[in-house]
Structure 1
Amino acid sequence: MKYCTYVIIALCSLLMIWSCGGDDDICESGEGTPRIKVAFKSQATGKEVTLDSLYVAVDYGSGKVQLGKLRNINSRLIPLRVDDSPYTDVYFRFADKGVESHVRVGYTTKTTYVSPGCGIKKTYENLNSQLIQPTPVISIEAGLNQIENEDKTNLFLLF
């Protein structure tokens, strides 16, 4: 009877180890939907600058979501909407209760199946941005007009 119990425990343990999923259970190699990369430039010199602090909020369709404050940054990665909307509204400000700029990022999307763990990846093409509320951002400058990964800058904000 003791021998039978040990065999059952050993078989159950082996089945549990064997049933563990493979590498495609977790989307860990950066294959998910990429974010837009926004960098900052000086209006006077045209050179990239580091901002002391920046607050970012995004409207994903159900109101603004605060993405928080970052200090001493020269670029920021911002997730865009993943529904069927042709644009995402992004808000930038320097202070917690300060005046904010409103930038609308327009695009077309394309979906690609990645794996069972990652699901579907959305890529953004034909990016175009417009500055709706100009203070504190003075103007905007287009970068790369497609988002396939997060390496290249897609939008420059000029202060």
Structure 2
Amino acid sequence: MLKTKLQYRQATIENLPLPTKPEEQFDVVSIFEVVEHVDNPAPFLDRAGLFVKPGGWLVMSTIARTWISWFTTNLMAEDILKIVPKGTHDWNKYLNHDEMTAYFSSRGIWEPPQIMGVMYVPGIGWKRLPGSENLGNYFIAVRKAQDTM
């Protein structure tokens, strides 16, 4: 039964046709490791939100703009360990969780976001690290109000 209902789409948000009715929207829209690479996050998130059904979830990960995130992503990951190509991360594009919270609050169609600080451990994966949303990586989940389209 789930096989017939589950849809995966790998595409840029700009290339997807906009939904015109709730049946064309999704229960969950997942945006991981993307927002911190986008030049203009507000229009990007506005468009992504159009794909979320009323009562559905937008689930994301991103990186806070702190000296620790610069140290781990730019200096360590790019320059010293070379585990990602140099220039992958632009620290100026990182978004603090209070900026994300303010964005969703300003739109009037989202419930207050749930935010969880995390750390990526190579070879192990993501680990929850309470309080670290103020330091580096964090997950954010926000539910769209029921009375929207």
TM above 0.5, yes or no, is: no
TM-score range, shorter chain: 0.3 to 0.5
User: Greater strand percent: which structure?
Assistant: 1
Question: What is the TM-score when the length of structure 1 is the normalising length?
Answer: 0.33
